[in-house]
Amino acid sequence: MTDDATHALSDVLDDLDRAATGEEVTIGTVVETLGHSSFAGLMLAFTLVSASPASAIPGITAIVAALVFILVAQMMVGRKSVWLPDFVVRRRMSTETLRNGISWLRKPVGFVERLLRPRMTWLFHRPWLWVFLILIMALTLFMPVMEIVPTSGSIASAVIALFAASLLTRDGIVAMMSLALLSVVPVTVYLWI
């Protein structure tokens, strides 16, 4: 496994940290920093923020769900670069909140990175990839409702982050784990309600 693949998740956090300048950071700045062609990197960045303590900000889960939906839809139609509407690109977030979230995520991301490596890479080709993308898209439609139940949005974001991590590192085992966890999320939320 290459060193690049080993540190792919930390690299996303480092890029997010670089984007966090001034008092506020826009989604457009995050996209520019991570790159317009990095669908998995952007998906990971957005869902990691939503899985961190920053998820306590009202509406963050719904915003992340919308962003991931847009990214997945573009992946499914085969776009080569990310497009986001202007009103999304201009959305702002406190730099301090973002940095706190990044700091909180360093340890769990470091742990997960040690377990990732390319395996079962055939899962990242059609038609198998579509199964994951359709299920992730379905979860994003459900996420805004999850804001009613505290932390459930963070759990859904963590599942999507796990899938994005598997995409970045081509780890099919982790993709299957995210699929298994994804099937548990709706049941868990239903039981909490």
CA atoms within 13 Å, Cβ hemisphere of 24: 7
Question: At what angle are helices 128-146 and 172-192 packed, to 10 degrees?
Answer: 30
From first to last of the 193 residues of the chain, give the pLDDT tens digit.
Answer: 444 454 577 888 888 888 777 788 888 888 888 776 678 888 888 887 777 766 666 777 888 888 899 999 998 888 888 888 888 888 887 788 778 777 877 887 777 777 778 888 888 888 888 888 988 888 888 888 777 766 667 778 888 888 888 888 888 888 888 888 877 766 665 555 5
Q: Note the pTM of the prediction, 2 decimals.
A: 0.78
Q: Total structural domains in the chain?
A: 1
Determine the pLDDT at residue 185: 65
Question: At what angle are helices 60-76 and 128-146 packed, to 10 degrees?
Answer: 160
Q: How far apart are CA 47 and CA 95, in angstroms?
A: 17
Q: Which domain holds residue 33?
A: 3-192
Neighbours of 171 (CB within 10 A): 26
